[in-house]
Chain A
């Protein structure tokens, strides 16, 4: 599902962080470092994901529209200027508009908000926005809950204690509540340094950006596949059965039907099923191959081994049929 990275470029992000050694980092640099790691991970392991980059302070700007080109996103990170005070609400309204214009209202999106926890003062600050939240008219509705299925991940360039001592943590938790509880707040454990920022973003990657590996089976014919985007757990009926149902990693085909008979049924979500070559002992998420040549020849070898997915794809197209797969019990 598409991701929108919303980066705080207000003055408070230029606050220096005390690190031993000669270089002086600002919180902004920590954020950029974490995002660089995220973008590198996406470029290697999650490259079908569309990502956009928005920066905000008192206004907001779409720096990079939705793209799969992670180089462009990395470049934009290094070209960010410093601006002024923090006005989060208008940035969130901007995110609503961008997403709806591009994807409509039915596609789930992930919003990664990168901030330092200083949420502004007075009018336009998050505190003020939340306080006046219920007194809004139709025309200046509070942007949350987002008008599309969403998860709001808040990456704070600060420790938990720092957020608790001001009332920022409460405000941020309120934001997640307003988004129907969909999302999470991440803070830095330990001193504010590059390594700890990396482990914080690592947690985000583990939660939301790990590829979903599964096995597609038709009797004894099998293929290792990646399902993109990750299938999300689904609640069948909140009243009777509120426990979300999770998709199996064994996707078993049970039979086939003509396209005319299946008649365009309504779907919860659509995913690509891509064949992958999993070497024995390969771990999900580890990533960067050292040798480019090795990678190319590995790809070539994998290309020549018959794969069930390719057979299935060809036959389904030729016959005009679909395969029915059991996803869970």
Chain B
């Protein structure tokens, strides 16, 4: 995926008008005493979420998956629309996290069912969305500055995901026309400005959501090109679990994600501390982690049926780490992951295990033959990555023997001393910028090379070439 594709900037426009305060009519049973009902106790009535709550929860889950897998370079701008447009964050990297968005949404609060529906409209939000798409992000600015005369290579594309309750197909048509016109106007403005960029491609994803049990007044429509700059697709989805599933499918499509299910994870249960049962955890990641499977055609694609929608996932078996043997594997790609059921016990158990520093090898389930280790899960700097390991033959096998090559017949190399030298010249992360005596910025790479140069001015490679280094230290 190119850095500046449509996925670089996503604008959520969520309807905050009074009708979004209505219930989605999907009941959530939360009173567990229903089963063992004692006499005289009246069970609590089941509750249901409003359309607004469903929309916010689903869009937050979309953002969570996106931020987990792409912590940088994929940005979200959140807009709620009622009597005006309220832009909740900006494109800066500091504003790109769930805490910011949740805090801002909490400040906005739920829609007011007693507000005047006449002046509330999703149109305010859509216009603001186009306006914000013209604004330059830090990444675009950096790339343009780097390229100077070739700055036009940096594209400005984006996606508007709008969750609303539309009245009819013609209403949807009206919203699309409005977006098209607004893009046209703003592109004219941007052409004359240094601080704005014209929108080259915009994908409009209109999600019409309505309460369970009602009829949908809007029909689904696949992606259609409305103009060279704007494409549009319409999804008609019942609120509640269906809306969550729809946005889950969309995030996978928009960011080229695929799913892997890790099976056979041994976990101890609280109640039965002496036994362990095997659990499955499903993870999302960029689909390139499966590229070897797709090319070889050897897919173990199983399906999991969730609420009626069939989702493809590849199953990998957990290999219990035997020893603490640290090995350098031939890895062809590493991808961040995001658990699908982030709040489940197995998911958090797996996450904690990995964050404590253990790596796990994953094998392709095979009915016969030797096992093939195809992936590895490992945590780096607090983030969890899925490494793709190559299991095919290596062109570097059978290298020429060291003892037959240059310098191979020498037997008294100062191997231990060089080992000490390597430990003294270990690299570590360089956090703060430092300055040299003359005031210029110290470049860590130059400093490292200088240090090596100084310490190797006299470094005899073999024991018989030196007296000093063979004398007892201290």
Contacts and interface: CB of A to CB of B under 8 A. Distances in A.
A260 B376 CA distance: 14
Contact of A106 (B143, B292, B404, B459): B292
Interface string A237-252: 1111000000000001
B415 A266 contact: no
* Interface majority SS (helix, strand, loop, mixed), chain A: mixed
A272 B396 contact: yes
B426 A305 contact: no
A185 to B, nearest CB: 26
A254 B399 contact: no
B332 A254 contact: no
Contacts of B378: 263-264
Residues of A in contact with B, size category: 35 or more
Interface stretch (B181-189, B219-227, B449-457): B449-457
Contacts of A253: 452
B406 A105 contact: no
A280 interface: no
Interface residues of B, number: 73
A272 B399 CA distance: 8
Nearest to B417: A315
A51 to B, nearest CB: 11
Contacts of A223: 406
Given A262-B328, A270-B396, A313 B292 contact: no
Contacts of B388: 266
A150 B333 CA distance: 19
Nearest to B414: A311
A1 interface: yes
A320 B4 contact: no
B393 A102 contact: yes
A235 interface: no
A277 B406 contact: yes
A240 B408 contact: no
Contact of A240 (B153, B380, B409): B153
Given A104-B390, A265-B334, A254 B3 contact: no
A314 interface: yes
Interface stretch (A80-88, A196-204, A296-304): A296-304
Counting chain B CB atoms within 10 Å of each CB, the highest count among A68, A218, A304 belongs to A218
A212 interface: no
Interface in A293-329: 299-300, 302-316, 318-324, 326
B406 A221 contact: no
Contact of A219 (B147, B426, B453): B453
A208 interface: no
A100 interface: yes
Given A100-B296, A239-B153, A218 B399 contact: no
Given A103-B392, A239-B3, A270 B330 contact: yes
A169 B134 CA distance: 48
B299 interface: no
A311 B456 CA distance: 14
A183 interface: no
Contacts of B353: none
Nearest to B5: A239
B407 A1 contact: no
A103 B390 CA distance: 10
Nearest to B150: A240
B473 interface: no
A258 interface: yes
A265 to B, nearest CB: 6
Nearest to A240: B143
Interface string B310-329: 00000000000000001111
A259 B422 CA distance: 13
Given A240-B147, A267-B330, A311-B418, A219 B456 contact: yes
- Please list the 7 inter-chain residue pairs (A to B) with the smallest Cβ-Cβ separation, ordered nearest first: A307-B407, A219-B456, A104-B392, A255-B427, A303-B409, A105-B295, A219-B452
